[in-house]
Amino acid sequence: MANELAGRTAVVTGGASGVGYSLCECFARNGMNVVMADIESSALEASSANLQKEGLNVIGLQADVTSPESMAELEAQSREAFGNVHVLCNNAGVGIKEAQRRIWTLTPNDWDWGFGVNVMGVSNGLRAFVPNMLSHGEPGHVVNTSSGNGGLTSLPTTPIYAATKAAVTSITEVLHYQFLMENAALQAHVLFPGPHVVNTNILSSMRNRPEHLRDDDEPVAYTTMAELAKASGLENMPLTEPAEVAEACFAGIVAGQFWILPASEANDAQFKRRADSILARTNPTLSR
């Protein structure tokens, strides 16, 4: 069934590093044409060149997911390069330095930046790509990257990130239903990288934060995944590599899975506690 994607075209936002880069590599190694999209031009150039050296059919296009105009241009350039788009991965995301802060201390700029990339980035991607994906009528897939943090349960140390990923899960569920209502040849998927904290550079997202959304007193709360895990009460948690996430995503697309969610007894138990609390109308408890 994987061969059905060979020769098709995938577009991946946030594609120059982390999970996005691994998605681009995985798709290309499975015979797809790949558009690697990213806001960071230097990383984009190096990452796309790295895959091109291996003979993989990858191009890099700079794009800002927070801009509807930029995403519309990305869609046009993608079709100009490879024709119809068949797989869209709304993967770009940022992490706010919020682990040592309370929700009432987070600034409007923090909220605007987090939601601008993590939520409006998905919305802008859908608006730019889905109309033509519907019109060409060929089978296709839209993958939105969420997170177990917020998308399923919420860590108390990352209010903005968790809120954005809860929104991504909800948006993708609605997208799934609307594709069914349209009898579309498209399928929606929500990707939960894991099962462990993923070894990416999302903690250094500040390097791409626009000047007009910066604050003078932004704290430096953590810079590594180990520091984030400790701040979240998750010491000694093993890491998942981005390549593992990409392989799981590709397999989920091929299998037609909406929930691309790696198996984890611990995560399943945490989600079950939340669902049980909702059904029993009991107050959530603080896990330590």
pLDDT value, residue 1: 45
Q: According to the CATH classification, is domain 2-280 in 3.40.1190.20?
A: no
Tokens of 206: 């500040």
pTM, two decimal places: 0.91
The contacts of residue 108 (CB under 8 Å, 6+ apart) are none
Each of the 288 residues of the chain gets a pLDDT tens digit; together they read 456 899 999 999 999 999 999 999 999 999 999 999 999 999 999 999 999 999 999 999 999 999 999 999 999 999 999 999 999 999 999 998 888 799 999 999 999 999 999 999 999 999 999 999 999 999 999 999 999 999 999 999 999 999 999 999 999 999 999 999 999 999 999 999 998 888 877 666 667 787 887 886 555 555 556 566 666 666 666 888 999 999 999 999 999 999 999 999 999 999 999 999 999 999 999 876
Distance, CA of 226 to CA of 243 (rounded, Å):
19
Tokens of 285: 């408890």
Residue in 219, 208, 2, 266 with CA at minimum distance from that of residue 92: 208
Residue in 65, 66, 95 with CA at minimum distance from that of residue 205: 95
Map out the domains of the chain as residue ranges. Answer: 2-280
pLDDT value, residue 195: 87
pLDDT value, residue 97: 83
